[in-house]
Structure 1
Amino acid sequence: MIGIVAVSHSARLGEAALELALQMVQGGGARVRVAAGAGSDAEGTPILGTDAVAVAAAIDELATDCDGVLVLMDLGSAVLSAELALELRVSEVPVRLAPAPFVEGLLAAVVSAAAGGSLEVVTQEASAALGAKTGQLGEASVDISAEDGPQNRPDAVVRVVAVKNPLGIHARPAALIAEASGGTDVRLRLLPDGPGASAASLSRMLMLGARQGDEVELSAAGPHAESAVERVATLFDDGFGEGTDTEPATAMIPAPRPDTRRKASTASVPPVPSGSVLRGRGVSAGVGAAPAVLLAAPLQEPDAHDIVPEARRQNAVSAIERATVAVADHLRARSSAADGEARDILDASRLLASDPELLSEASALVRVEGRTAARAVWEAAVAHEQGLVALGGRMAERAADIRDVRDRIIAEILEVDLPGIPEHDRPFVLVASDLSPADTAALGGSRCVALVTEQGGPTSHTAIIARSLGIPAVVGVPGATGIPAGVDVLVDGSRGTVEIDPGDSRVAAARSASNDIPFAGAGVLADGRRIALLANVGGASDAAASAAAGAEGVGLFRTEFCFLDRVEAPSIDEQVEAYRGVLAAFPGRRVVVRTLDAGSDKPLPFANDDSEQNPALGVRGLRIARRSPELLDDQLRALSIAAEAESAVVEVMAPMVATVDEALDFAERARAAGLATVGVMIETPSAALLASEMLEVVDFVSIGTNDLAQYALAADRMLGELGDLNDPWQPAVLRLIGAAGAAGRTWDLPVGVCGEAAADPTLAPVLIGLGVTSLSMSPRALGRVAAALGGVSEAQCLAAAEAVLRSATAAEARAVASEILGL
């Protein structure tokens, strides 16, 4: 094993570069130490500089279990400190000093060391790290002649693969290839007659210049050649987890000229007249009403015609480096103050802020093209943004994250304030074209009562954070930025509607309904019947917040959040740790765990990476076990181990069940793994109609109203224009819920609801009347739902249920229920 010492004048820069390098080798295998800074002054402020003693100590520490040590230095006195450290060290391990670019060199060295490279190979990789970048810019002569591979050996394994991901082989795919080779000498050659590269060489793979649509020959020889080539080929087949769109990526297309982009970004939007009702995608349930406040416009695009003199270009590069560190530090502070999914998303933005590719591309634009620091960051970010947009779907929604990080870095470079969430003393509805993750997370500390955006989708970070904060939100609203500032706006996040100037009475009613009500910890009808009120969670931080809010337990633990954004499934040990974090928050209380619900809007490259014409009707949920039964078995085993280690009452259920045979097979698998209480989700009309037969083989059912509405009304829940169909008040949906509830009464078994419908204070009593025994929702909705249940009797719930089952329209169902319940 080879150790690496990173010597930097700035501790923050060194740590940020290391953190990003280690992201490339998540499987581990690299030993790195940062020797940065020269201590602190009397006031605790870090001193920029380097310390030879610290460098020597880092070398000696690594020498205890490494065969050699590579020392990388950023600039100036770092070289002198490294040379002096060789005299001060006490170990005899071989040491190499690499004249490499700091960020790119550290990245290449870490990947090469993790792949098992020798000291000489790791040193060469670090030194050649910038070659790929300058070669792509056409400003340097990059020698990457075809290497002699093992393809001519009699035992060689050779396979031809296609580059499917829109961005081709850039740093992350190259790192994945190096890791997948597992120490086997796998070689790549760009066909038909292009250069070759070793899979252990990050820089050589980058210099292949492989783009989407290119063919690459993989070859290896030796005892593990076949499995190594298969692992690498699998990465190519699934597009390295980045998508496999057939349209070529546009990431490297130069940004349009400034004047063109400004006209596009500032085009006027027609004002929306009073009385209008705009429709979009409701992504966070609830109602909010207040005057509209429009988010300030983003930063203007930096001028592309400004050229930096060659003598000042290094200063511009240094400005980019300082800005990325400062932005990363700011986002780290914001992350530490957040929790749940907001913290995870801000952590991801922090990593984007000092992405080594973004940093090196921007730096190269300064050095080679003479771009200003701000313009270089802009152009590099545009390339990344266009690449994500080309991927489509979930990845395209991440483009807003790139724009946010871009603007933050540029604002730091120019020393200007960045537009953000406005500060108001009174409640307001925020209207924007789109929001950044950091700005959305900041809504939690503002007087914002609802959110409306013109862009975004149900899996955008805006949607995710809005849900976690319990702020009603509607995204994808055409013409939203035409809402006049100051006009009253009523936002219904459940129905996906935005009413402009609806009138004082409706505004007052909405404000009353949106007031947070403390939850006393129990759901009780007016006549004393207990109704379990549970929380929906996605991880340990959500569980802790839900427990603090008084939730009686967890009605839906979405375990797929442990699987998202991974190329390979987590190990059993990793899953156990994640599951225990949730179970520990609810000792002695019920936690209902949903097994992996991947597919449709949550694709996973290792489970269901196929391109499907109708993904919502395809291989998703429990159906993934048809092709990968080990995924389900491993998850059930991990849940069983976690349940034994904690005192929570663990129940497990499967999503996307359509037949009794599926329910029986799942129940047998779960019980064989040691999980006693087993249920299934009612998300398809088939499952609702067969609920009685389902309850013959399982212990409970839980209704997912979002998917049940989608399938009952044949209306894609991702389409905002079909929001009126994806409404749990639709009579067809209520009748299916009633069928499941009747089955629960017949067998005297639990029937839960864990979809958005559970958080509707008016619908909750209706669900109880239909036979539902527990409701699971966002923690912020617990108080409102408890208050609604506490004001009605069981007889009223039954009467309201009978009335809605006779209704012909959603509007009629709402009206009759409200009249009977007095809500």
Structure 2
Amino acid sequence: MAVSHSARLGEAALELALQMVAGGAPVRVAAGAGIDGQGAPILGTDAVAVAAAIDELATDCAGVLVLMDLGSAVLSAELALELRASDVPVRLTSAPFVEGLLAAVVSAAAGGSLDTVADEARAALTAKTAQVADDAAEPEEPIEPPARGEAETRRVRVRNPLGIHARPAALIADTAAGVDVRLRRLPDGPEAAAASLSRLLVLGARQGDELELLATDAGAAVVLDRLEALFRDGFGEGTDDAAAVTDDPAGAGAAPAADASEPAPVAAEPAPVAADRVPVAAEPAPVAADRVPVAADPVPVAAGTVLRGRGVSAGRAVAPVAHLAPPLAEPDLRTVIAPADRESEADAVASAAQRAADRLRGRAERASGETRAILEATRLLAADPELVAGAAALVRAQGRSAARAVWEAAAAQEADLAALGGRTAERAADLRDVRNRIIAEIVGVDMPGVPELDEPFVLVAADLAPADAATLAGGRCAGLLTEQGGPTSHTAIIARSLGLPAVVGVAGATRVPDGAVVLLDGETGTVEVEPPAPRIAEAAMRIAKAAVAPLAFGGTGALADGHRIALLANVGGAADAVAAASARAEGVGLFRTEFCFLDRATPPVVDEQVAAYRGVLAAFPDRRVVVRTLDAGSDKPLPFANDDDEENPALGVRGLRVARRSPQLLDNQLRALALAADAESARVEVMAPMVATVDEARDFAQRCRSAGLTRVGVMIETPAAAVMASALFEVVDFVSIGTNDLTQYTMAADRLHGELGDLNDPWQPAVLRLIAGVGEAGRTAGKPVGVCGEAAGDPSLAPLLIGLGATSLSMTHRALGRVADALARVDSTDCRRAADAVLGAATADEAREAAAAAVAG
């Protein structure tokens, strides 16, 4: 219990202490000496109130520890021992009031004995005196860390392909919340607190590495069991049984062998960044590539220049340029905080980090889907306790300003991440973003990033950090222009989700002068700088007209000569299907079934699948719905389907190949699809992804028909399937060309690699010739050829795809109106003429020009 002269102080200290534990602890406060005639609190202590509080606790406790603030509180507590009615052991302690109460509550909540709780309370100032480095005396009875043998321990192996990167680290931190868990990479690697996202990343734990988990708090076993399950399931990203060997690396059911005499490295709070690890720069550090200020290049792009890049989100924008705000200046290294002011300066770090995290939380709550996930991940970094503790330690020990301390602590963590290489190193940009947010809060300036303007603008940047891209919703941004990035970058993903025109990969984009009017075309990938006034007026009129009356799809796709072309939608679940039906899509050309189960660690049972599939089928009664079986693997790992560490997962066990190892998984899905089809009136067709041989297609068709599914097809995503299209048509009823994968496999260029955007272009002649071969095979067999990749939603490509032999196009529902309009402007002869023209092209640019000229007539 706590005895204080001030009721406010006692209540505040108790509130602070109880926030340290999830389940609470039995605590009572006896504070103040009542109120005066005007209702004001009287400072003082009351022995009777102290005795009553002890008796109240005695009914539920085996002992009572009494903490006192000062002076008469000690006398009142001593007198209370004579006045109390209970006989439980009572210990008065000289522990500091606030710090001791915190330590005692945490220890009591963990089930500590009266002696243990008292010892913890008396030692509560140890951490503070170590950080402040003053001459305070050590506790009379220093607390020894518990022996390793006394702690709960586990050994786990990292089984997911990418190791402990940002997402697994966030899962670990969330799961361990409220319990002091430490992770150590074996045999002699670094150690990290589970609560710290950045230190977990710095562990550098890769697939196959073994870790020791250690915890001593209450509930440790349950938390460690949950953490074990996360590791065992690969954090929902797929696992490697060969690497794991066994779920109990230390031996059957045994805790890992350890020397019980060796003290366990269990920290009471996050370890500060050591002074010798902080890279103090003699001169300002170079500006990060993702936040290059415009002034860095003195040569502006001249008016009349046409820049070219990659259009990743359709639409047009005409507006003045506004550049991403430049980074904050590096805080001055020469500033030294006086010793008397260092504690308040250190507190400024924690409060600024909390404000930054709160702002990100607020934005995340207003966002949804992928945008929300990005903001949540950034919030976790902003709330990282070790970043805050490291910066605060620099303030206290070296007199750094709060802003400079955050800069240096972040630099140390960034260096650790960069040293790990690979995808973990890519998180350094996120850490710099969080650093800037905290420093902006400290110095009281606007956060660098997306400007807040009252008029529409085209945002220009080298690239956008995840949190920057995610804050575009609801602002005045009319379009995006970046020097870097690719079709799968955060910029592209969020631009498409918000319907913002975007062009990425534009050399010289950051040299466009601030305020210069640009005409940005997200379909052609062109950006005109200061175009002539008539061009601006024409574009503005078209944009305004589209905003008032956007190109709507009438529900029937056709060429100008009446030739029917089915325009279908790509969907990932029931919500997508409802939106597509509202947009009057003629059906579904690609139902990505794996999107229903991306967050699952275990396979969905048949009934769950039936419910998910019916949600999509119900939106399209009596219309065609083409269902793709699970396309697990590569960029869409499913832990219940892919549990292998593969050097190149895009070329590994993905798509239909999963059935080689888990045939029941495919059979269950086909059964569920048949049941869903029987329950709804949609015309269900089923196709398999990642087919490379005729034998694979034949086996899949037999499985489908055995399950009662009569219309069977395959995806053409590999060059092998494209070349063998004629033979495939002998065993299946239709094919659908997935242009995204067909392009990456044909050009040997990972479609997730932004720098290879020029290769991952469906206009590449090699890709077009393969599509032409598939189209010709379909015409010969008299069977449908669909296209369901990104190319199908490109109005400039749509007529060409029809000329190459496509009989239907499937796309995001947002593109239906534009594609329908493009097709209605051409006839079958135009389309065929465009196809003949591109087949003689040697480059992607030549193919574009040839198709445009042929269509124009």
TM range (shorter): 0.5 to 0.7
Alpha-carbon distance in structure 1 between the residues aligned to 2:381 and 2:754: 29
Alpha-carbon distance in structure 1 between the residues aligned to 2:821 and 2:780: 29
Alpha-carbon distance in structure 1 between the residues aligned to 2:127 and 2:309: 42
Q: Secondary structure at the match of 1:712?
A: helix
Alpha-carbon distance in structure 2 between the residues aligned to 1:761 and 1:161: 45
The answer on whether the counterparts of 2:646 and 2:652 sit within 8 Å (CA) in structure 1 is: no
The answer on whether the counterparts of 1:243 and 1:391 sit within 8 Å (CA) in structure 2 is: no
Which has the larger displacement, 463-472 or 512-521? 512-521
> AA paired with 1:191?
P
From 645, 663, 669, the equivalent of 1:610 is 645
The answer on whether the counterparts of 1:269 and 1:479 sit within 8 Å (CA) in structure 2 is: no
From 490, 504, 521, the equivalent of 1:461 is 490
In the TM superposition, 1:324-335 aligns within 5 A as 324-335=353-364
Shift in alpha-carbon separation, 1:818–1:650, aligned structure 2, 3 A: same
Q: Deviations over 1:691-727 (max 9, x none)?
A: 2333343443221223223333444545566544433
**Number of the residue aligned with 1:519:** 552
Alpha-carbon distance in structure 2 between the residues aligned to 1:635 and 1:315: 60
**Number of the residue aligned with 2:824:** 790
Shift in alpha-carbon separation, 1:272–1:231, aligned structure 2, 3 A: same
**Number of the residue aligned with 2:278:** 254
Alpha-carbon distance in structure 2 between the residues aligned to 1:751 and 1:677: 14
Per the normalisation by structure 1, the TM-score is 0.67
Alpha-carbon distance in structure 2 between the residues aligned to 1:414 and 1:340: 33
In the TM superposition, 1:732-771 aligns within 5 A as 732-771=766-805
In the TM superposition, 1:51-200 aligns within 5 A as 147-148=148-149, 190-191=186-187
Q: Secondary structure at the match of 1:452?
A: strand
From 809, 818, 828, the equivalent of 1:775 is 809
Q: Deviations over 1:513-571 (max 9, x none)?
A: 8756331341432344443333334556655554554444443344555666x794565
Shift in alpha-carbon separation, 1:446–1:641, aligned structure 2, 3 A: farther
In the TM superposition, 1:328-367 aligns within 5 A as 328-356=357-385, 358-359=387-388, 361-362=390-391
Q: Deviations over 1:248-288 (max 9, x none)?
A: xxx99535538422667667225254476666665435565
Alpha-carbon distance in structure 2 between the residues aligned to 1:797 and 1:169: 46
In the TM superposition, 1:357-506 aligns within 5 A as 358-359=387-388, 361-362=390-391, 371-382=400-411, 385-386=414-415, 389=418, 396-422=425-451, 428-446=457-475, 448-487=477-516, 489=518, 491=520, 493=522
Q: Secondary structure at the match of 1:260?
A: coil
Shift in alpha-carbon separation, 1:783–1:720, aligned structure 2, 3 A: same
Per the normalisation by structure 2, the TM-score is 0.64
The answer on whether the counterparts of 1:168 and 1:212 sit within 8 Å (CA) in structure 2 is: no
The answer on whether the counterparts of 2:557 and 2:567 sit within 8 Å (CA) in structure 1 is: no
Which has the larger displacement, 439-448 or 164-173? 164-173
Alpha-carbon distance in structure 2 between the residues aligned to 1:420 and 1:749: 52
Alpha-carbon distance in structure 2 between the residues aligned to 1:174 and 1:362: 23
Shift in alpha-carbon separation, 1:260–1:700, aligned structure 2, 3 A: same
The answer on whether the counterparts of 2:503 and 2:521 sit within 8 Å (CA) in structure 1 is: yes
From 269, 277, 295, the equivalent of 2:297 is 269
> AA paired with 1:271?
V
Alpha-carbon distance in structure 1 between the residues aligned to 2:349 and 2:363: 21
> AA paired with 1:783?
G
Alpha-carbon distance in structure 2 between the residues aligned to 1:493 and 1:755: 17
Alpha-carbon distance in structure 1 between the residues aligned to 2:849 and 2:191: 70
Alpha-carbon distance in structure 2 between the residues aligned to 1:810 and 1:462: 24
The answer on whether the counterparts of 1:580 and 1:645 sit within 8 Å (CA) in structure 2 is: no
Q: Deviations over 1:777-816 (max 9, x none)?
A: 2333222112122233344434443444455554454345
**Number of the residue aligned with 1:583:** 616
**Number of the residue aligned with 1:41:** none
Shift of 1:432: 0.9
Q: Work out the number of aligned pairs and report it.
A: 714
From 540, 561, 565, the equivalent of 1:531 is 565
Q: Secondary structure at the match of 2:437?
A: helix
The answer on whether the counterparts of 2:309 and 2:503 sit within 8 Å (CA) in structure 1 is: yes
Alpha-carbon distance in structure 2 between the residues aligned to 1:513 and 1:187: 58
In the TM superposition, 1:612-627 aligns within 5 A as 612=647, 616-626=650-660
Q: Deviations over 1:599-649 (max 9, x none)?
A: 55556777366352x554444444444456566567667767777787766
Greater C-alpha radius of gyration: 2
Alpha-carbon distance in structure 2 between the residues aligned to 1:375 and 1:581: 57
The answer on whether the counterparts of 1:362 and 1:373 sit within 8 Å (CA) in structure 2 is: yes
The answer on whether the counterparts of 1:340 and 1:542 sit within 8 Å (CA) in structure 2 is: no
The answer on whether the counterparts of 1:688 and 1:740 sit within 8 Å (CA) in structure 2 is: yes
Shift of 1:453: 2.2
Alpha-carbon distance in structure 2 between the residues aligned to 1:131 and 1:555: 66
Which has the larger displacement, 209-218 or 659-668? 209-218
Shift of 1:687: 1.4
**Number of the residue aligned with 2:322:** 293
The answer on whether the counterparts of 2:191 and 2:203 sit within 8 Å (CA) in structure 1 is: no
**Number of the residue aligned with 1:39:** none
- Identical aligned pairs, as a percentage? 55
In the TM superposition, 1:565-604 aligns within 5 A as 568=601, 571-572=604-605, 576=609, 579=612, 583=616, 586-588=619-621, 590-597=624-631, 599-600=633-634
Q: Which sections of structure 2, spanning at least 5 residues, go unmatched?
A: 1-9, 28-59, 62-68, 74-96, 215-220, 241-272
**Number of the residue aligned with 2:719:** 685
Alpha-carbon distance in structure 2 between the residues aligned to 1:568 and 1:136: 44
> AA paired with 2:285?
R
Q: Deviations over 1:735-762 (max 9, x none)?
A: 3223323344445544322222222223
Q: Secondary structure at the match of 2:459?
A: strand
The answer on whether the counterparts of 1:341 and 1:542 sit within 8 Å (CA) in structure 2 is: no
Alpha-carbon distance in structure 2 between the residues aligned to 1:609 and 1:271: 50
> AA paired with 1:257?
A
Shift in alpha-carbon separation, 1:559–1:728, aligned structure 2, 3 A: same
Alpha-carbon distance in structure 1 between the residues aligned to 2:333 and 2:850: 62
Alpha-carbon distance in structure 2 between the residues aligned to 1:578 and 1:394: 36
> AA paired with 1:785?
V
Alpha-carbon distance in structure 1 between the residues aligned to 2:282 and 2:385: 26
Shift of 1:136: 13
Alpha-carbon distance in structure 1 between the residues aligned to 2:183 and 2:352: 38
Alpha-carbon distance in structure 2 between the residues aligned to 1:136 and 1:348: 32
**Number of the residue aligned with 1:25:** none
> AA paired with 2:693?
T
**Number of the residue aligned with 1:703:** 737
Alpha-carbon distance in structure 2 between the residues aligned to 1:574 and 1:344: 28
Q: Secondary structure at the match of 1:451?
A: strand
Q: Deviations over 1:482-502 (max 9, x none)?
A: 233344545565676656567
C-alpha root-mean-square deviation of aligned residues, in Å? 6.2
Alpha-carbon distance in structure 2 between the residues aligned to 1:135 and 1:641: 68
Shift in alpha-carbon separation, 1:762–1:280, aligned structure 2, 3 A: closer
Q: Deviations over 1:426-476 (max 9, x none)?
A: 654321133244442443444544322234454432221012223343445
The answer on whether the counterparts of 1:522 and 1:532 sit within 8 Å (CA) in structure 2 is: no
Alpha-carbon distance in structure 1 between the residues aligned to 2:608 and 2:368: 20
Shift of 1:343: 3.6
The answer on whether the counterparts of 1:558 and 1:593 sit within 8 Å (CA) in structure 2 is: yes
Q: Secondary structure at the match of 1:534?
A: strand
Shift in alpha-carbon separation, 1:719–1:569, aligned structure 2, 3 A: same
Alpha-carbon distance in structure 1 between the residues aligned to 2:826 and 2:17: 61
Alpha-carbon distance in structure 1 between the residues aligned to 2:321 and 2:154: 64
The answer on whether the counterparts of 2:553 and 2:816 sit within 8 Å (CA) in structure 1 is: no
Alpha-carbon distance in structure 2 between the residues aligned to 1:132 and 1:547: 65
